[in-house]
A and B are shown apart, each in its own frame.
Chain A
Amino acid sequence: MKRERFIGGAAAGFTVASLARPASAQGKPITIGAAVSLSGIFSDGGHYSLEGYQLGVAHINARGGVLGRPLELKYYDDQSAPATGVRLYERLINEDKVDLVIGPYGTAISAPAANVAERYKMPMLMAETADVVMFSRGNRWIFQGLGPVQTYLYGVLSMAHDRGFKRLAVIGGDTAFPHALANAVPEIARGFGQAIVYQEFYPGNASDFSSVVEKLRAADPDVVLGMAFPTDSLGLIRQLKQSNYAPKMFYEAIGASDPAFVKSVGRDCDGTLSAVAWNFAAKTPENAAFVRDYQATFHREPDYHSAANYSAMHVFAAAIKQAGSINQEKIRDALATIRVPTLVGTYRVNPANGIQLGYTSYIIQWQNGKQEIVYPGNVATAKPLVPFPAWSSPNR
């Protein structure tokens, strides 16, 4: 499995390199440095992120680059480890002398990396940070490039509200991002008159969920919100089936958003809700070109990390254009104020703290082994399947 991906990655690198040869952009490349999680717990999302960056750079260069210069991506593997991430940005800035830096994956690495951006006074676009805590610490050099955590949840709680579901259970791995998501639930739930009847954080590397599921059954919630990464998302679904337990709505934040999720769980994923930061079904020429070239280059479906990072490159390009040169202060000011239409929405941040205002998320549901957008209604590709079908149901 690992080996397969690895060879795929290497082959993809070649194609991107050939795509990246600029048509018209000449001159010294503008280098953008990135920490990417290619090994360790974040490596699933990390590979999607890297591919998004690579395709973004290739597309921008194919259209003549920025300020007449091509973009060039310089990246290292941060091993999903915060200390490595920090060292990597120090290396990119001091040794490789990159012109700009772009943020790493996840809160645990982004939080310390944000200090490096501040120390060197280089703007850092955080394309992989939905958590909002680090943006409230007075660091004027970081900008959020994903919809904030609230957007991952609002739609699903709104759907529950429409159906009169009031009892919520929140479970998740005991790591930074699941906590960030869980912390966003109470305020939204209050607005809908919903209550959290059960909450539990299991160890981040847990593999047995039988007791979690029994406790859920005992608490009898209408909606189960699982703030789960790929491994525990898988384990939770398998356990629901094995314990023959089906809440009225079942949501898994991160793991079930991966378009390849069905390959690991099969059709047992049907009925599961998740959130994606990208409307993959949008019928726009940009979207079509992105999906087509992504599949041609990397031989798989893009996920929302790919789209968000692809968009981040375009936001960076727009900010450089507005600044007119590689001037960190001017690019910072541009990132704080510009609006850039992208694949994942219109980039627009709160200039006071860098929190994203323009991006949103979409609620998807696995139906017949495919992801369908079920919220918001105006872009939905299918009607939501609620309640979650019982395990004995003939609909499975």
Chain B
Amino acid sequence: MKTLTYIEAISEALWEEMERDKNVFLLGEDIGKYGGAFKVTKGFHEHFGEERVIDTVLAENAIIGAATGAAMMGMRPIAEIQFADFVSNGFNQLVNNSAKIFWRCNIPVPMVVRLPSGGGIHGGPYHSINPEAWFFHIPGLKLVAPSTPYDAKGLLKSAIRDNNPILYFESKFLYRRIKGEVPTNDYTVEIGKADIKRNGNDISIITYGTGVHWSLEAAKILEEENIDVEVLDLRSLIPIDKEAIFSSVKKTGKILIVHEDTLTGGIGGEIAALISDNCFEFLDAPIKRIASPDTPIPFAPTLEDHFLPNTKKVLSALKSLAKY
């Protein structure tokens, strides 16, 4: 095992997969000589050359369109969207082409779109969004959102080797803030499998991405009050691990869903509906959600702090559930 930051784990996965499979290549804005806005691909250009690490024009529809075409031709492109907010420019390519081609033409589209997502870095309304819910509704795409270096590397490798178009939501807030153990040898994390990051019997938190860390901190604090919180990290949003969700619900009976994305239309609503449909008789309390309020994310740091979910908000929701 070795200790890596979240961003190093992503870089390593890309590097190793490019070494392993010559069909894997990267494309995106400033990812070549510059090494990417967040330096994920620093050194890649020198090592793999400009044909496999391609600097593109500032046009996400072109990036995703090119990636889709290459994937159809048997390549395994990995497109970097500099900030996930910009993926909206490539929305039509993703939704109408990448997602549908296999279903319409029986041609697989093995591509990965990397989406540095989320706030907490004072990026303002155009550089902070969590766009997973836009695509959660689109059949044909797979969505993953790792929360640890281990999952980041293992899921990215699985995504690159998968034959479907995959959106890879990486938390830029976590890039250099967390470190974790990662195996030295080659490994993958199965897409579609959630992970219990903490075992508990009283309340389940269902979360992903940054939410996992707030949840784990809050759960730790509640240990002192003898409230035993389980933290289920979804890791994959599509396909979603229903079995893991249901078994956690059946275990605790009290559910808190935590995500950084805004509340209305967020994927928490779908999770709540799934639970209600399948586990109604196992519920001992209303399903609660912690999410950002329904506004664009503010630029001012104090307002941003107020806007985003955090450990304190999770803690207070857990306490009220415990009391219920």
Query: Do these two chains interact?
Result: no
